[in-house]
Amino acid sequence: MIAVAQPRGLRNVLVAPDLSHHALNVWRRNRDVYLKLWKTELFLPLVEPLLVLFGMGLGLGQFVSLGIDQSYIRFLAPGVLAQFGMFQATFECCWGVYFRMANHGTYQAVASTPASLDDVVMGDLLWASTRCLVNSVYILAVILAFTPHYAILRSPWALLTLPLAYLLGLAMGALSLCFTAIAPSISFLGYFFSLVIIPIFWLSGTFFPLERTPGWLQVVAWASPLTVATSTYRHLFDGKPVPQDLLHVAVLCAEAAVCAWIASGLVRRRLIK
């Protein structure tokens, strides 16, 4: 634990984060670790999204009728891009952060330098967003390669999904780090994944139109960063952005800011005595 004078309890959670340029140094530290392991990190994150995209899009898609003039693989692709980018940010801010915080002592070691704990948290969030972006680039490139045959991408507007992927990674990473900061053991993260991430996964509008679900379920689904990102991705893929997409971007920004603030406070409460 770090022994410095700080507000205790709820006040410690609500106090404004103490951020500086050292957050970028934390990001660089994570980048350097990744670059040493990139060969093992590159292949596996691509396997599952491609299986979902082409296994369900082409296999199950033969038996699915959306009631609109659109193939199932074309409907599925924007959600797959959002979901599996999101997973990278979630894994990084769950298991990756837990080991650095509770097992390896990385948080305490970095916070003993001029960097603050809030810098460490923000650096990890920026890195989680980068992982989301990198994975999204891979998947988007594969989708682009198959577009001439399956007509998935309809517009260069689809490139705007990449900056949105960074924002999605920040929002989902911050949400995940909130739970990591209060996890009494690493098994707790499994509960978070099963009870929070999996429902978000299925209710994101990726596999079926949300308009066909009960009204109360739609309200729950639209509260998720993944749902608003999937909807915006779909409009960009088709080259038909709508004014509502600006609201979706604002929602992502707000959820990312609020969750990052809370995550910083929870980390301080956990580590500072």
Are 230 and 78 in contact, with CB atoms under 8 Å apart? yes
pTM of the model: 0.90
Identify the pLDDT of residue 7: 44
CA-based nearest residue to 70, from 260, 263, 240 = 240
Tokens found for residue 90 = 């979630």
List, for residues 214-238, the tens digit of each pLDDT value: 889 999 999 999 999 999 999 999 9
Give the DSSP letter string of 53-108: IIIIIIIGGGG---SSS--HHHHHHHHHHHHHHHHHHHHIIIIIHHIIIIIS-HHH
Identify the pLDDT of residue 61: 72
Identify the pLDDT of residue 67: 67
Identify the pLDDT of residue 37: 79
Identify the pLDDT of residue 94: 95
List, for residues 34-80, the tens digit of each pLDDT value: 888 777 777 777 788 888 888 888 787 777 777 667 788 899 999 99
Are 230 and 141 in contact, with CB atoms under 8 Å apart? no
- Residues (pLDDT < 50) of the chain are 1-8
Identify the pLDDT of residue 4: 41
Residue 46 burial (C-beta neighbours within 10 Å; 0-12, 13-18, 19+): middle
Identify the pLDDT of residue 2: 47
Beta-bridge partner residues of 2 = 272
DSSP class of residue 160 equals: G
